[in-house]
Chains A and B, each alone.
Chain A
Amino acid sequence: MNVERPTNLTQKTAKKMDVDAESSPAIRSANDKARLEAVEPASAPQPELNSKPRWDEVSVSEITPKMRTEGLHASFGASEVLKGISLPIAEKLVTAIIGPSGCGKSTFIRCLNRMHEVVPGATAKGKVLLDKQDIYDRDVDPVRVRGRVGMVFQKPNPFPTMSIRDNVLAGLRLNGVKMADPDGQVERALRQVALWEEVKDRLAKAGTSLSGGQQQRMCIARALALEPEVLLMDEPCSALDPIATARVEELIHELRESYTIVIVTHNMQQAARVANFTAFFYLGQLVEYNRTPVIFTRPNEQRTEDYITGRFG
Chain B
Amino acid sequence: MVDPYLRRKVTDRVVRGACVLGTLIALVPLFSVLYYVVVQGIGGINLDFFTELPKPVGESGGGMGNALVGTLKLVGLAGLFGIPPGVLAGVYLAEFGEGKFAKVVRFSADVMSGVPSITVGIFVYSLVVVTTKQFSALAGGIALAILMLPMVTRTTEELLKLVPESLREAALGLGVPKWRATLRVMLRTAAPGIAVGVMLSVARVAGETAPLLFTAFNNRFWSTGINEPTASLPVNIYTNAVSPYEDWHRQAWAAALVLLITVLILNISARFLVRSRVRAR
Contacts and interface: CB of A to CB of B under 8 A. Distances in A.
Q: Which of B168, B173, B185 has the most CB of A within 10 A?
A: B173
B174 A175 contact: yes
Given A174-B181, A174-B185, A222 B280 contact: no
B166 A144 contact: no
Contact of A151 (B173, B177, B180): B173
Interface string B153-196: 00000000000101111111111110011001100110100000
A155 interface: yes
B98 interface: yes
> Majority SS of interface residues in chain B?
helix
Given A157-B166, A206-B280, A115 B172 contact: yes
Contacts of B181: 174
A160 to B, nearest CB: 6
Contacts of A120: 98
Given A153-B166, A155-B166, A157-B167, A146 B189 contact: no
B98 A159 contact: no
A222 B128 CA distance: 53
B7 interface: no
Interface in A171-186: 171, 174-175
A196 to B, nearest CB: 20
Interface string B95-112: 000100000000000000
A118 B281 contact: no
Contacts of B170: 153, 157-159, 219, 222
Interface in A145-198: 145-148, 150-151, 153, 155, 157-161, 163, 170-171, 174-175
A226 B281 CA distance: 25
A94 interface: no
Contacts of B164: 157
B188 A153 contact: no
Given A159-B185, A159-B189, A161-B189, A174 B281 contact: no
Contacts of B188: 161
Q: Which of B166, B167, B170, B184 has the most CB of A within 10 A?
A: B170
A219 B173 CA distance: 11
A118 B169 contact: yes
Contact of B280 (A148, A153, A208): A208
A153 B167 CA distance: 10
Interface residues of A, number: 33
Contacts of A155: 166
Given A157-B164, A159-B189, A161-B188, A174 B176 contact: yes
Contacts of A146: 172-175
Nearest to A225: B174
A290 interface: no
Given A150-B174, A174-B184, A157 B169 contact: yes
A204 interface: yes
B176 A143 contact: yes
Contacts of B98: 120
Contact of B176 (A151, A161, A175): A175
Interface in A112-136: 113, 115, 118, 120
Contacts of B169: 115, 118, 153, 157
B171 A174 contact: yes
Contacts of A205: 280-281
Contacts of A158: 170
Nearest to B168: A118
Contacts of A118: 168-169, 172
Contacts of A174: 171, 174, 176, 180-181, 184-185
B173 A223 contact: yes
Interface string B254-281: 0000000000000000000000000011
A209 interface: yes
B281 A206 contact: yes
A208 B180 CA distance: 22
A92 B168 CA distance: 28
Nearest to B189: A161
B189 A171 contact: no
Contact of A115 (B173, B176, B184, B185): B173
Contacts of B191: 161
B281 A204 contact: yes
Q: Which of A113, A150, A151, A158 has the most CB of B within 10 A?
A: A151
Interface string A191-219: 00000000000001110110000000001
Q: Which of A115, A157, A222 has the most CB of B within 10 A?
A: A157
Contacts of B280: 205-206, 208-209
Given A160-B189, A204-B281, A209-B280, A223 B174 contact: yes
Q: Nearest 6 CB-CB pairs, A to B? A: A147-B175, A171-B174, A206-B280, A146-B175, A151-B173, A157-B166
Interface of A: 113, 115, 118, 120, 143-148, 150-151, 153, 155, 157-161, 163, 170-171, 174-175, 204-206, 208-209, 219, 222-223, 226
8 contacts: A115-B173, A118-B172, A143-B177, A145-B175, A153-B169, A160-B189, A205-B280, A222-B170
Interface of B: 98, 164, 166-177, 180-181, 184-185, 188-189, 191, 280-281
Given A146-B172, A155-B166, 4 more contacts: A115-B172, A146-B175, A157-B170, A175-B175
